[in-house]
């Protein structure tokens, strides 16, 4: 017997189910997820997710470093939507410090949170389609992601791990000019001209350009998928869940809203400047994979509207982008070169950091994947006493067994993709 389907103890004996490993090296495992899947034929009997392969002890590391050193760690949590991670962390510090954030910084944060939301949802959309065997949407969504990555790069210098928000605001104001493509033997000069055309103005012009073209691009994805019969056969009715059960399992974000339950922190407990902006919340009905997809596409369109409003506001209002708190915010480069005290202050800021008053707080943002929270306890030192991160993906993953049971092996891939799992935040 080559494959041990029949138990060896008894030649005619009871049939055993087929158990196999799905991951940690699997094209559809979305990182380093290992699933032990038990199937009967192709129908899933049980799924046991094994996590921890990407565990880096982020929370413990944060306890051993000054507050301002850990912002970069937040980038590495959910490495698909980076800036909302930072947002929740700096929000927690600001709450403990009672720090006021300038209006312009808040608009910049909201704009980049929404840019991250589009980045995230584009990835989910593309990879869900890819996991189902549709190759093309992936390339289309990555074409748009490239534009948004350039926005990240323009403000922070890094395409992914931006490290752009800081307690009290953002590190620097939006740049007035965009980086240009240069002549190279690998591109035609006409091509370079086309590439540079939207980059002739400031970053805001470039984002404006994106918001103008994006609705048409959304239509393009939807033309490929929304009414595609195969897509619908693969997603409609796959892993439906009702709102009560979803709440009991701790679902948030698009996973919860696709069941028709209205919960969005941007509306329920508005942070930053979300209460000044006009946007709608997309709700689903059945909570199946198709509704999750529809909710995400609708959210992208709404995010696009929010970005447009932010761009308008930012064009009209100039001002500081970081608070003037002398301890939390480092001195400017000019001042630190000019005054000895500022030089010392600069050194102390980046080595020792600052002390945060004793207390505890919980900050949460509507992360693209759901509610992302940071519970922070400070004992008055320059390091947090305890940081606990609530990753949105963790409760979603724990429902995997429940959602997949009774579906087929091919559906596991779809369900996993529609959950929008990123291992950086689940394993922390």
Partner 1 sequence: MTLFTLMMVVLQIGLTLGLVLFMVLYLILAERKIMGYMQGRVGPNRVGPLGILQTLADGIKFLHKEIILPAQSDYALFMIAPMISLVCAFVVWSVVPIAPGWVLADIDAGVVFVLAITSLGSYGILLGGWSSNSKYAFFGAIRSMAQMISYEIAMGFSLVPVLMVSGSMNLTQIVLRQSGGLLHWYFLPMFPIFAVFLISAVAETNRAPFDITEGETEIVAGYQVEYSGFIFAMYFIAEYTNMIFVSTMASLFFLGGWLSPFQGTPYFSLLFSWVPGVIWLLLKVLLFLYLFIWIRATFPRYRYDQLMMIGWKVCIPVSILWIFVVSLMILGGIL
Cα distance between residue 211 and residue 217, in whole Å: 10
Contact status, residue 420 vs residue 51, Cβ threshold 8 Å: no
Binding piece for partner 1, criterion CB under 8 A, among 24-32, 199-207, 300-308, 394-402 = 24-32
List Cβ neighbours of 50 (8 Å cut-off, separation of 6 or more): 33, 34, 35, 36
CB of 192 to partner 1, least distance (A): 16
Interaction of residue 175 with partner 1, rule CB under 8 A: no
Closest CA to 55 of 85, 76, 86: 76
How many C-beta atoms surround the C-beta of residue 212 within 10 A? 12
CB of 135 to partner 1, least distance (A): 6
Strands of the sheet containing 370-378, edge to edge, are 359-367, 370-378, 384-390
Q: Site for partner 1 (CB under 8 A): which residue of 9, 27, 189, 190?
A: 27
Cα distance between residue 144 and residue 213, in whole Å: 10
Interaction of residue 411 with partner 1, rule CB under 8 A: yes
Residue with tokens 């992914």: 160
Interaction of residue 26 with partner 1, rule CB under 8 A: yes
CB of 137 to partner 1, least distance (A): 9
CB of 8 to partner 1, least distance (A): 16
Interaction of residue 339 with partner 1, rule CB under 8 A: no
Question: What is the total count of residues that contact partner 1 (CB under 8 A)?
Answer: 33
CB of 27 to partner 1, least distance (A): 5
How many C-beta atoms surround the C-beta of residue 209 within 10 A? 17
Q: Which is nearer to partner 1, 403 or 412 (CB)?
A: 412
Closest CA to 78 of 34, 116, 29: 116
Interaction of residue 234 with partner 1, rule CB under 8 A: yes
Closest CA to 326 of 155, 92, 167, 162: 167
Binding piece for partner 1, criterion CB under 8 A, among 207-215, 225-233, 361-369, 379-387 = 225-233
Residue with tokens 């947002």: 87
Interaction of residue 131 with partner 1, rule CB under 8 A: yes
148 token code pair: 């948004």
Find the radius of gyration of the CA atoms of the chain.
Answer: 24
Q: In what helix (H) or strand (E) does residue 40 lie, and over which residues does it extend?
A: strand 34-40
Q: Site for partner 1 (CB under 8 A): which residue of 7, 40, 42, 358?
A: 42
Interaction of residue 231 with partner 1, rule CB under 8 A: yes
> 312-342 burial, b for 16+ CB within 10 Å, e for fewer?
ebbeeeeeebbbebeebbbbeeeebeeeeeb
Binding piece for partner 1, criterion CB under 8 A, among 51-59, 229-237, 261-269, 364-372 = 229-237
Helix (H, G, I), strand (E, B) or coil at 387: strand
Q: Which is nearer to partner 1, 21 or 351 (CB)?
A: 21
CB of 133 to partner 1, least distance (A): 3
Interaction of residue 62 with partner 1, rule CB under 8 A: no
Q: Which is nearer to partner 1, 213 or 224 (CB)?
A: 224
Contact status, residue 206 vs residue 178, Cβ threshold 8 Å: yes
Binding pattern to partner 1, positions 177-216, x when CB under 8 A?
----------------------------------------
Contact status, residue 209 vs residue 198, Cβ threshold 8 Å: yes
Binding piece for partner 1, criterion CB under 8 A, among 60-68, 113-121, 196-204, 227-235 = 227-235
Q: Site for partner 1 (CB under 8 A): which residue of 3, 11, 216, 340?
A: 3
Where does this chain bind partner 1 (CB under 8 A)? 2-3, 18, 20-21, 26-28, 42, 129-136, 139-140, 143, 224-225, 228, 230-231, 233-234, 408-413
């Amino acid at each position: 017997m080559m494959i041990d389907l029949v138990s060896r103890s008894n030649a005619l004996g009871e049939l055993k189910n087929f158990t196999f490993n799905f991951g940690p090296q699997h094209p559809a495992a979305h990182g380093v997820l290992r699933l032990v899947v038990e199937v009967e034929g192709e129908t899933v009997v049980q799924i046991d997710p094994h996590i921890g392969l990407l565990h880096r002890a982020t929370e413990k590391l944060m306890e051993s470093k000054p507050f301002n050193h850990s912002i970069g760690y937040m980038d590495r949590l959910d490495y698909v939507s980076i800036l909302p991670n930072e947002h929740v962390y700096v929000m927690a510090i600001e709450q403990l410090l009672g720090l006021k954030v300038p209006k312009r910084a808040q608009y910049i944060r909201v704009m980049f949170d929404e840019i991250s939301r589009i980045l995230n949802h584009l990835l989910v959309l593309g990879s869900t389609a890819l996991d189902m065997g549709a190759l093309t949407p992936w390339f289309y969504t990555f074409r748009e992601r490239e534009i948004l990555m350039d926005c990240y790069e323009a403000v922070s210098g890094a395409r992914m791990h931006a490290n752009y928000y800081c307690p009290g605001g953002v590190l620097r104001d939006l740049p007035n000019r965009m980086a240009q493509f240069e002549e190279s033997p690998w591109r035609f000069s006409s091509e370079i001209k086309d590439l540079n055309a939207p980059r002739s103005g400031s970053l805001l012009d470039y984002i404006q350009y994106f918001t103008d073209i994006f609705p048409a691009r959304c239509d393009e994805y939807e033309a490929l998928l929304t009414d595609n019969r195969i897509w619908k056969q693969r997603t409609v009715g796959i892993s439906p869940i009702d709102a009560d059960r979803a709440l009991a399992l701790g679902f948030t974000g698009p996973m919860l809203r696709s069941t028709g339950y209205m919960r969005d922190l941007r509306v329920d407990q508005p942070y930053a400047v979300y209460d000044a902006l006009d946007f709608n919340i997309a709700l689903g009905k059945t909570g199946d994979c198709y509704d999750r997809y529809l909710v995400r596409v609708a959210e992208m369109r709404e995010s696009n509207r929010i970005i447009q409003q932010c761009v308008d506001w930012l064009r009209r209002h100039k001002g500081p982008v970081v608070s003037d708190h002398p301890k939390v915010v480092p001195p400017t480069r000019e001042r630190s070169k000019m005054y000895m005290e500022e030089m010392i202050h600069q050194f102390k800021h980046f080595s020792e950091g600052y002390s945060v008053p004793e207390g505890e707080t919980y900050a949460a943002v509507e992360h693209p994947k759901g509610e992302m929270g940071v519970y922070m306890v400070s004992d008055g030192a320059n390091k947090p006493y305890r940081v606990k991160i609530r990753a949105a993906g963790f409760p979603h993953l724990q429902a995997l067994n429940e959602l997949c049971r009774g579906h087929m092996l091919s559906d596991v891939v779809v369900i996993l993709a529609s959950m929008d799992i990123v291992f950086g935040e689940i394993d922390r």
